[in-house]
Amino acid sequence: MRTEEEIVKGSVWHVLNFTNATVMEYTFALAFEKELADMKGLMKGGSFCDVLDEEKGLYFINTELELLESLKDPAIVILVDTIHKLIDCANTYFIIIGIDLEELATDDQYNYMAGGTWNSMYFELKEEGYDALLQTAGTLYHSMLYVLYTAAYQLILKRADVYEVSDDEFWKNYHPLLVGELKVEDPLAQILIDLIAELQKDAMRIYNLAN
């Protein structure tokens, strides 16, 4: 029987992957309005289809990522940088926690808890044309940073239900968090907090592009 602390530790890996899937879906939606306009309606942005082992539910996103990497749109380039940062963080996190990949990917306890955390992400993708979509990038990034901070606080407090505390702390630590000055004792939580500062840089790049 796993403790809540153990489930939290495994669930955060899924939170990183769920967040990345959201960013990829948004990136494809943006690309379908310009460089990939011929593919619009033929492919869904969230349909990642490189299967490693279908029975175990393990997937890669290599093909989709290579397609996005081939695009020249400045906004797409920034978003691809964000995707790589999320992937690198998830890979580092996975190595550190030392949980077997098959167990991590298929155990419902990890997935269920991660889904609850990820559902606190308040971004909703709407197909409104390129310019309108680009204007929602700020909401995407802000929501993503909020979810990652919530996950970090789950690691700090070693429990799932942290939302009231993490919300207060998010706004209390907002500036040092975004500029990379916030330090915590939990090393796994610090990985997420450092990621937040890196993603904020991308958020500002998108903001400057859109305004």
3-state DSSP of 6-69: HHHHHHHHHHHHHHHHHHHHHHHHHHCCCCCHHHECCECCCCCCEEEECCCCEEECHHHHHHHH
pLDDT digits (tens, 9 = 90+) for 103-135: 998 889 999 999 999 888 778 887 679 999 999
Q: 78 with 202: CB under 8 angstroms?
A: yes
Residue 173, CA distances (Å) to 3, 102, 194 in order: 29, 36, 13
Q: 184 with 191: CB under 8 angstroms?
A: no
At residue 62 the predicted structure's pLDDT band, cuts being 50, 70 and 90, is low
Phi, psi dihedrals of residue 55, rounded to the nearest 5°: -65, -35
Of all helices (H) and strands (E), which one includes residue 161? Answer: none
At residue 38 the predicted structure's pLDDT band, cuts being 50, 70 and 90, is confident
CA terminus-to-terminus distance, the chain:
52
Of all helices (H) and strands (E), which one includes residue 119? Answer: none
51/100 Cα distance (integer angstroms): 18
191/12 Cα distance (integer angstroms): 11
Question: Residue 41 has what pLDDT?
Answer: 66
* Sequence-distant (≥ 6) Cβ neighbours of residue 68 within 8 angstroms: 24, 27, 28, 31, 76, 79, 80, 83
At residue 43 the predicted structure's pLDDT band, cuts being 50, 70 and 90, is low
Q: Is pLDDT of 7 > 60? A: yes
